[in-house]
């Protein structure tokens, strides 16, 4: 078993199959949209529905392809689709866990509005949570 040091950088990403499946679904809907163009008299709302799914799966693919959480000696860096947020371990106030079919984790830090979310779709999400709890010195709290 490999022992990792506190100063070693670790990167956690969503399972790669998610980005691939969203990309494939988006391409399927592009094909549907192109196929619809071969017919006459297709209602506008049908085209708009197909465009919605192209956009939905495109955005989902972009998120799953770009999202990452990096843990290093100094703290945590969250990279989402449109923003990047850095937390020093001392700035992490809470790590909330909402269990369910898809577990949602929320990192809340010092400063107004500072926080990020990630889900159990991240590969090795339990290891990530254990690292955050350990390095940020968090303890379980009862509600």
pLDDT band, very low/low/confident/very high, at 140 (cuts 50, 70, 90): low
Q: How far is CA 5 from CA 9, 72, 108, 131, 138, in A?
A: 9, 10, 25, 11, 19
* Residues 20 and 56 occupy one common structural domain: yes
Q: Say if CB 9 and CB 71 are below 8 A apart.
A: yes
Return the SS3 of 44.
helix
* Residues 27 and 82 occupy one common structural domain: no
Q: Say if CB 135 and CB 7 are below 8 A apart.
A: no
Last residue of a domain, one of 65, 94, 124: 65
* Residues 79 and 125 occupy one common structural domain: yes
pLDDT band, very low/low/confident/very high, at 125 (cuts 50, 70, 90): very high
pTM over 0.85: no
Q: Say if CB 86 and CB 76 are below 8 A apart.
A: yes
Indicate the helix (H) or strand (E) that contains 115: strand 115-119
Average pLDDT over residues 19-28: 97
- pLDDT higher at 126 or 141: 126
* Residues 74 and 118 occupy one common structural domain: yes
In a domain, 141, yes or no: no
Domain limits for position 59: 16-65
* Residues 57 and 76 occupy one common structural domain: no
In a domain, 4, yes or no: no
pLDDT tens-digit readout, 80-112: 988 899 989 999 988 999 999 999 999 998 876
Q: Does residue 5 surpass a pLDDT of 80?
A: no
Last residue of a domain, one of 48, 65, 82: 65
Q: How far is CA 121 from CA 19, 45, 65, 74, in A?
A: 11, 33, 12, 25
What is the percentage of the chain residues whose pLDDT exceeds 90?
76
Q: Does residue 142 surpass a pLDDT of 80?
A: no
* Residues 94 and 56 occupy one common structural domain: no
The whole-number pLDDT of residue 4 equals 52
């Amino acid at each position: 078993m490999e022992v990792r040091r506190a100063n070693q950088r670790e990167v956690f990403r969503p399972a790669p199959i998610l980005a691939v499946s969203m990309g494939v679904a988006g391409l399927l809907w592009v094909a549907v949209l192109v196929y619809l163009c071969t017919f006459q008299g297709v209602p506008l709302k049908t085209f708009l529905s197909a465009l919605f799914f192209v956009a939905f799966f495109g955005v989902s693919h972009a998120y799953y392809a770009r999202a990452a959480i990096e843990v290093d000696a100094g703290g945590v860096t969250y990279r989402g689709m449109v923003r990047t947020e850095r937390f020093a371990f001392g700035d992490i106030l809470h790590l909330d866990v909402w269990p369910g079919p898809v577990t949602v984790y929320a990192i809340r830090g010092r400063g107004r509005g500072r926080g990020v979310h990630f889900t159990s779709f991240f590969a090795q999400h339990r290891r990530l949570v254990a690292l955050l709890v350990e390095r940020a010195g968090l303890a379980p709290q009862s509600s």
